[in-house]
């Protein structure tokens, strides 16, 4: 097995004598493909490390890993916030387990075990989770952690997790530290693929934190496309408002959604259609910029956030899901629903699970907690909405 490492390391400091290095963020996985994945983490000081990995079934059964990669400590200037290690030469259509071991003098500090998969073969089932709007939570019941724990406990084999933006409230260490601490267990479940929300501010810290699929725009990651078995996911940045950026993204959509994939998904932050002030559909122009392209290219589902409720809207055969329930404070919506609104649920923190097969797309939105009298009350197993989209048909059946 051939392994190539691409490494960027944090904080060229020496560990204080007698104190072991610790993980500040992670580890977590990103940018999976047919033969590679990136493992990322942040430690409090720069130390050597070892990434251990192997096929999941063997690792779980024997509690051992069949391969490892040594990573040297770095004293490069300037410091960068995150270590990214690329593992390549992996076996396709395979589920893996991994852990990171920090090597601090004579001590070894091992992370919990994480998981990822390589791209499946055609016609194999795929399951992934989607959430959005996990910002603004520093006191009271940790709503972010309730959503994270629900996803971490999901019984499905998750191939990846999509995030529809507003990962954090503001791009500062305070919010990033809290976010990573809240989502630690979820991040071990499967690689995370986010898009930018307005709260990230297109800040350098977002690009430092995550490794994304091949894309374009800033860092080659501001918008991206991801092929996985029979499906494609296109991620956009709806904060990009310069005319050339909009034109580039329209061309990106047309290019990457024009293929013959069985299932087609798009994710971006601001809703295309939505009920309720202050997010009335007239506030945005994405229905004009992108909806015709989605219809033309037979997109199945578009995932959005920004509005802090759940809503399912169907327009011209395309299903739009508003999924702003990842932990941000719920908002009250208007009583009048926009055209095509089928289901609207307020006051919950939730995520959505999507399962694809040759027969179609099964979607369930699952509540992690409900906001009652100013606090979040766990709601394990509560289904807010479910539907099925048969292959070659864009009309959902309940």
Residue at 396 is within a domain: no
In the listed set 60, 83, 117, which residue is the last one of a domain according to the structure? 117
52 and 130 fall within a common domain: no
Q: For residue 355, count other CB atoms closer than 10 A to its CB.
A: 17
* Per-residue b or e along 265-299, where b marks 16 or more CB atoms closer than 10 Å to that residue's CB: bbbbbbbbbbbbeebbbeebebbebbbebbeebeb
Residues 42-55: pLDDT tens digits? 998 889 999 999 99
**pLDDT at 347 (0 to 100):** 95
In the listed set 84, 100, 117, which residue is the last one of a domain according to the structure? 117
Helices (H), the chain: 56-62, 143-152, 173-182, 184-187, 204-209, 243-256, 286-289, 291-296
Residues 336-345: pLDDT tens digits? 889 999 999 9
pLDDT for residue 282 is more than 90:
no
147 and 59 fall within a common domain: no
> pLDDT category, 17, cuts 50, 70, 90?
very low
Handedness of CA 126, 180, 214, 65 (dihedral sign): negative
- Closest CA relative to residue 143, chosen from 372, 369, 394, 381: 369
Contact 161, 129 (CB under 8 A): yes
83 and 149 fall within a common domain: no
Residues 359-395: pLDDT tens digits? 999 999 999 999 999 899 999 899 999 999 999 754 4
290 and 335 fall within a common domain: yes
Residue at 7 is within a domain: no
230 and 358 fall within a common domain: yes
57 and 89 fall within a common domain: yes
140 and 270 fall within a common domain: yes
Contact 134, 326 (CB under 8 A): yes
Beta strands 126-131; 114-117: pairing state? unpaired
* Number of domains, the chain: 2
Helices (H) and strands (E) in the chain, counts: 8, 22
104 and 59 fall within a common domain: yes
User: CATH number, domain at 340?
Assistant: 3.60.21.10
Residue at 13 is within a domain: no
For residues 197 and 185, give the distance between their C-alpha atoms in angstroms, rounded to a whole number: 23
CA dihedral 117, 122, 125, 126 (to 10 degrees): 50
pLDDT for residue 64 is more than 50:
yes
In the listed set 98, 117, 136, which residue is the last one of a domain according to the structure? 117
User: CATH number, domain at 29?
Assistant: 2.60.40.10
Name 386's bridge partners. Answer: 364
> pLDDT category, 5, cuts 50, 70, 90?
very low
200 and 66 fall within a common domain: no
Average pLDDT over residues 94-105: 95
Average pLDDT over residues 79-83: 70
**pLDDT at 1 (0 to 100):** 29
Residue at 153 is within a domain: yes
**pLDDT at 351 (0 to 100):** 98
**pLDDT at 49 (0 to 100):** 95
- Closest CA relative to residue 201, chosen from 218, 187, 184: 218
Residues 203-216: pLDDT tens digits? 999 999 999 999 99
Residue with the two structure tokens 């100013």: 374
- Closest CA relative to residue 350, chosen from 301, 389, 385: 385
Counting residues of the chain whose pLDDT is more than 90, the rounded percentage is 77
Q: For residue 5, count other CB atoms closer than 10 A to its CB.
A: 15
340 and 384 fall within a common domain: yes
Residue at 1 is within a domain: no
> pLDDT category, 19, cuts 50, 70, 90?
low
Residue at 318 is within a domain: yes
Average pLDDT over residues 284-303: 95
* Domain that includes residue 305, residue range: 126-390
pLDDT for residue 92 is more than 90:
yes
314 and 204 fall within a common domain: yes
Residue with the two structure tokens 């091949």: 214
Take residue 157 and report the two structure tokens written for it.
């084999």
Residue at 234 is within a domain: yes
The per-residue DSSP string of 113-155 comes to: PEEEEPPPPTT--EEEEEE-------SSS-HHHHHHHHHHT-S
Cis-peptide, bond into residue 4, ω within 30° of zero? no
240 and 361 fall within a common domain: yes
Contact 179, 167 (CB under 8 A): yes
Task: Give the up-direction half-sphere exposure of residue 152: CA atoms within 13 A in the CB hemisphere.
Answer: 16
Average pLDDT over residues 61-77: 84
Residue at 213 is within a domain: yes
């Amino acid at each position: 097995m051939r392994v190539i490492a691409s490494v960027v390391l944090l904080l060229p400091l020496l560990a204080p004598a007698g104190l072991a290095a610790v993980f500040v963020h992670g580890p977590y996985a990103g940018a999976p493909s047919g033969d590679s994945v990136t493992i990322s983490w942040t430690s409090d000081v720069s130390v050597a490390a070892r990434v251990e990995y192997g096929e999941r079934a063997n690792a779980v059964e024997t509690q051992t890993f069949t391969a490892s990669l040594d990573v040297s400590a770095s004293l490069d200037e300037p410091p960068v916030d995150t270590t990214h290690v690329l593992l390549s030469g992996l076996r396709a259509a395979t589920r893996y387990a991994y852990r990171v071991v920090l090597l601090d003098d004579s001590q070894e500090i091992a992370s919990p075990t994480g998981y990822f998969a390589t791209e499946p073969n055609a016609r194999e089932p795929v399951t992934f989770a989607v959430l959005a709007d996990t910002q603004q939570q520093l006191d009271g019941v940790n709503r972010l952690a309730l959503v994270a724990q629900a996803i971490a406990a999901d019984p499905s084999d998750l191939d990846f997790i999509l995030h529809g933006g507003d990962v954090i409230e503001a791009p500062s260490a305070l919010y990033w530290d809290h976010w990573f601490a809240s989502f630690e267990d979820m991040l071990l479940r499967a690689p995370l693929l986010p898009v930018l929300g307005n709260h990230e501010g297109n800040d350098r810290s977002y690009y430092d934190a995550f490794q994304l699929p091949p894309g374009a725009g800033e860092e080659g990651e501001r918008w991206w496309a991801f092929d996985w078995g029979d499906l494609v996911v296109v991620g956009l940045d709806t904060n990009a408002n310069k005319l050339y950026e909009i034109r580039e993204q329209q061309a990106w959509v047309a290019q990457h959604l024009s293929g013959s994939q069985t299932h087609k998904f798009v994710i971006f932050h601001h809703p295309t259609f939505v009920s309720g002030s202050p997010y009335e559909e007239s506030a945005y122009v994405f229905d004009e910029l992108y909806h015709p392209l989605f219809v033309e290219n037979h997109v199945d589902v578009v995932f959005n956030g920004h509005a802090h409720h759940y809503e399912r809207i169907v327009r011209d055969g395309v299903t739009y899901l508003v999924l702003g329930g990842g932990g941000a404070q719920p908002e009250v919506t208007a009583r009048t629903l926009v055209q095509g609104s089928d289901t609207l649920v307020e006051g919950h923190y939730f995520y959505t699970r999507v399962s694809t097969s040759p027969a179609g797309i099964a979607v369930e939105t699952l509540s992690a907690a409900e906001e009652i009298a100013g606090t979040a009350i766990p709601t394990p197993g509560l289904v807010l909405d479910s539907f099925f989209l048969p292959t070659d048909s864009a009309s959902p059946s309940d």
